[in-house]
Amino acid sequence: MPALAVPPFARQTGLACEACHTVPPELTPFGRRFKLNGYTLTTRPPLVSDTDEHKKNTLWLSDLPGLGILFQSTYNHYDRAPPDSAVPGAKAQSENLEFPQQFSFIAGGAITDQIGGFLQMTYDQPSGTFGVDNTEIRYVNHTQTNDWVWGVMFNNNPGNQDVWNSVAAYPTLDFSNQSLWSAGGAGGAGLSSPFFEGLGGLTAGPTAYVWYKDSLYLGASIYHAAVSGSVTSTIDSTNLGVGGGVVEGWAPYWRAAYERDWGYNSASIGLSGMYSKFTPSLVAGQTVDPGYVNRYLDIAYDWQYQYIGQNNIFSFLGRYTHENADYAPGLVPTFYSNSTNHLDEWNLTATYFRNRHYGALVNFVRTTGTADALVYGGNGSPGNQYEVLELDYLPWLNFRFIVQYNIYNVVKNNQNPFILLNATNPKASNNNTFDIGLWMDF
Amino acid sequence: MRSPAVTSLIVAAIVLASTAVHDAQAAAVVPPDPSALNTKQLVSNACSKCHGFNGISISPLFPNLAGQIPGYIETELKLFRQRGRSDPHARAFMWGIARALTDEQIKGLAQYFSSQPAAKGSGSSNPALADRGKVLYENGTPERDIEACTVCHGHSGEGVNTQPRIAGQHRDYFVLEMQQFRSGLRENKVMQHVSEKLTDDEIAALVEYISTK
- pLDDT one-digit tens code per residue, A191-202: 778 888 888 888
pLDDT at residue A415 tops 60: no
Instruction: Using an 8 Å CB-CB cutoff, list chain A residues near B60.
Output: 263-264
Beta strands in A374-432 (DSSP E): 384-396, 399-411
Say if the Cβ atoms of A150 and B28 lie within 8 Å: no
pLDDT of residue A318: 93
Q: Chain A window 292-331: which residues touch B at a Cβ cutoff of 8 Å?
A: 308-310
ipTM value of the model?
A: 0.80
pLDDT of residue B163: 95
Q: How confident is the model at residue B23 (pLDDT cuts 50, 70, 90)?
A: very low
CB-closest option in A13, A57, A151 to B28: A57
3-state secondary structure of B205: helix
CB-closest option in B12, B41, B59 to A208: B12
Q: Does B171 touch chain A (CB under 8 A)?
A: no
Say if the Cβ atoms of A220 and B60 lie within 8 Å: no
Instruction: Using an 8 Å CB-CB cutoff, list chain B residues near A29.
Output: 58-59
Q: Chain B window 20-49: which residues touch A at a Cβ cutoff of 8 Å?
A: 20-21, 23-25, 27-35, 40-41, 44-46, 48-49
CB-closest option in A14, A208, A263 to B99: A14
The CATH architecture to which A76-99+128-441 belongs is Beta Barrel (2.40)
pLDDT in tens, A104-139: 999 999 988 889 999 999 987 767 788 888 899 999
Locate CATH 1.10.760.10 in chain B.
34-114, 127-210
* Fold of domain B34-114: Cytochrome Bc1 Complex; Chain D, domain 2 (1.10.760)
Spell out the residues 6+ positions from residue B184 whose beta carbon is closer than 8 angstroms to its own: B192
Q: Chain A window 107-126: which residues touch B at a Cβ cutoff of 8 Å?
A: 110, 112-114
Say if the Cβ atoms of A141 and B24 lie within 8 Å: yes
Say if the Cβ atoms of A54 and B29 lie within 8 Å: yes
pLDDT of residue B29: 38
pLDDT of residue A374: 84
Q: How far is CA A92 from CA A77, A179, A182, A433, B185, in A?
A: 12, 14, 11, 15, 54
Would you give the distance in Å from CA A198 to the centre of its chain? 8
pLDDT of residue A414: 61
Say if the Cβ atoms of B92 and A142 lie within 8 Å: no
pLDDT at residue A428 tops 80: no
pLDDT in tens, B99-148: 989 999 999 999 999 999 999 988 888 999 999 999 999 999 999 999 99
Say if the Cβ atoms of A57 and B31 lie within 8 Å: yes
- In the DSSP assignment, the letter for residue A289 is S
d(CA A193, CA A241) in angstroms, rounded, equals: 21
pLDDT of residue A168: 59
pLDDT in tens, B61-77: 999 999 999 999 999 99
Burial of residue B157 (CB within 10 Å: 0-12, 13-18, 19+) is buried
CB B195 within 8 A of CB B149: no
Domain B127-210: which CATH class? mainly alpha
pLDDT at residue A384 tops 70: yes
Total number of residues shown for chain A: 442
Amino acid code (one letter) for A320: Y
